[in-house]
Amino acid sequence: MAWNVFKFCTSLRGLGSVMILLVLGVVGVSYYAVVLTNFGPALYNSGGIASLSSSLAVLILFHSLLVMLLWCYFAVVFTDPGIVPPNWRPTVDEERGEADPLNGVELSNLQSDPSNQLIRYCRKCSQPKPARCHHCSVCGRCVLKMDHHCIWVVNCVGALNYKYFILFLFYTFLETTLVTISLLPYFIAFFTDEEIPGTPGTLATTFLTFVLNLAFSLSVFGFLIMHLSLVAANTTTIEAYEKKTTPKWRYDLGTRKNFEQVFGTDKRYWFIPAYAEENIRRMPALQGLEYPLRPDFDSQEC
């Protein structure tokens, strides 16, 4: 019998609190090095590497980006990525005389009939699943327009939180880049004869913070570019392979409309982890889906 590695995927959920603490730990170390050790004291001490005006600018930018980063991060963590609506069935076109493809069909029988192309059926959930829906082996459920399961946010990235995830990458890149650039003079001073104020402990923390933020900035930049390219093509990480094998990707509506499907049509909400009320009501259409993402989004029965 073949060994199924996916049966061990659910154990990854146990890393949830650890990964959240790790993210908060990196944020805490960066805050200590930037605000409490270097640029905070520079506001009261004249001279040195950091001047008064540059220190104030760094602190304002740092706190502004930190608020947005944490807002987006917890929005991804606590927002349900989108589950298949209860009792969902494929759309029935009564005017064309199409019958319900599940009428009188037991779900258990569908599993043994792979030639049935009328519906997609999840063997794990024992339920029919809509288009652009995939089963997450970690969460143990089907997720609408699933992109991937991210251990850093302890959640799946799907239809309802994909925008928040991209914004989290965006503000993380800006924040880590800011920290890297602002601490670069201190990093260079480590290898010169220039005197650096502080204890050996604070100097070690500054050095560690610079290296961590440089590494995160470079890696997050790559992920951000990749996901923006996926948004531009109206595809997901999982669908990227399927798209390569298809002559024309049917969900590609053009770069602008593809972007609006993820970020909404109201420009005021593009850079915050929220949607305008009008976009929330039109969420299924914006996401290119033919079913309601939440029961309260649509008055029709699922």
pLDDT in tens, 180-201: 999 998 888 877 766 667 777 8
The reply to whether 168 falls in a domain is: yes
Q: Is the pLDDT of residue 8 over 50?
A: no
C-alpha 27/C-alpha 83 separation (Å) is: 31
What is the residue whose two structure tokens read 């650890």?
A: 18
The reply to whether 137 falls in a domain is: no
- Residue 32: name the closest of 176, 214, 213, 209 by CA: 209
CA 104 to chain centre: 40
**pLDDT for position 139:** 85
How many separate domains does the chain show?
Answer: 1
The reply to whether 229 falls in a domain is: no
Q: For the chain, give the longest Cα–Cα distance.
A: 84
Per the structure block, which two tokens stand in for 127?
Answer: 């339920």
**pLDDT for position 290:** 55
* 290 or 109, higher pLDDT: 290
**pLDDT for position 286:** 55
The reply to whether 293 falls in a domain is: no
Say which range, 61-70, 98-107, 279-288, has the weakest mean pLDDT.
Answer: 98-107
The predicted-structure confidence for 244-289, as pLDDT tens digits, reads as follows: 677 788 888 899 999 999 999 999 999 999 998 887 777 665 565 6
The reply to whether 48 falls in a domain is: yes
For residue 256, give every residue at least 6 positions away whose Cβ sits within 8 Å of its Cβ, in sequence order, or none. none
Q: What is the pTM of this model?
A: 0.83
Active site residue 302: no
The reply to whether 44 falls in a domain is: yes
Which residue among the candidates 136, 150, 156, 302 is catalytic per the annotation?
Answer: 150
The reply to whether 31 falls in a domain is: yes
The reply to whether 189 falls in a domain is: yes
Q: Is the pLDDT of residue 116 over 90?
A: no
The predicted-structure confidence for 28-52, as pLDDT tens digits, reads as follows: 999 999 999 989 888 877 555 667 8
Range of the domain at 166: 9-81+159-208
